[in-house]
């Protein structure tokens, strides 16, 4: 039985692909979970229309993210922390701290978008990448200063 996938299925295919599956798998799993629809001329046209709508929406989001990336590239945030010997912080600066500082400046950034490999534990200036959408990333200058 040929079906068109509405969502990616591991080991089967990605969204929009037409695949051949056993009728029981389609009837008992794919159709009830709204993961696929039966492949025919009408459903193929509907899927193509949905793909075009998604492509337009993704292009708009990407354009908006590029503008936001330019604004973020010029932004910098300063985070004050207590320090001990050799300029080592008591605690650390995490992605959540950076996101909160950027949100205070008016940027819509979630802590999951801040790509810190490990928390910052020393004073200094750091270039931290912030991933806005799939391909667009901006570097933000983070100043970690003594309180």
Per-residue confidence (pLDDT) for residue 7, from 0 to 100: 86
pLDDT of the residue at 30:
94
- Which residue segments constitute the domains of the chain, with CATH numbers given? 2-65 (3.40.5.10), 66-146 (3.10.430.100)
Band the pLDDT of 93: cuts 50, 70, 90. very high
24: how many CB neighbours lie within 10 A of its CB? 9
pLDDT mean over 68-81? 91
Q: Which residues contact 81 (CB under 8 A, 6 or more apart)?
A: 89, 90, 91, 93, 144, 145, 146, 147
Q: For residues 79 and 97, what is the distance between their CA atoms, to the nearest angstrom?
A: 8
């Amino acid at each position: 039985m040929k079906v068109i996938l509405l969502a990616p299925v591991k080991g089967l295919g990605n969204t929009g692909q037409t695949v051949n599956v056993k009728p029981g798998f389609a009837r008992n799993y794919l159709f009830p979970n709204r993961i696929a629809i039966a492949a025919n001329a009408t459903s193929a046209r509907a899927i193509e229309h949905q793909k075009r709508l998604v492509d337009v929406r993704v292009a708009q989001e990407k354009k908006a993210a590029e503008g936001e990336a330019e604004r973020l590239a010029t932004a910098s945030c300063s985070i004050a922390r207590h320090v001990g010997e050799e300029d080592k912080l008591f605690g650390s600066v995490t992605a959540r701290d950076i996101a909160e500082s950027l949100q205070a400046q008016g940027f819509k950034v979630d802590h999951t978008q801040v790509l810190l490999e490990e928390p910052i534990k020393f004073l200094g200036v750091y270039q931290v990448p912030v991933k806005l959408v799939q391909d667009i990333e901006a570097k933000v200058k983070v100043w970690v200063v003594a309180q």
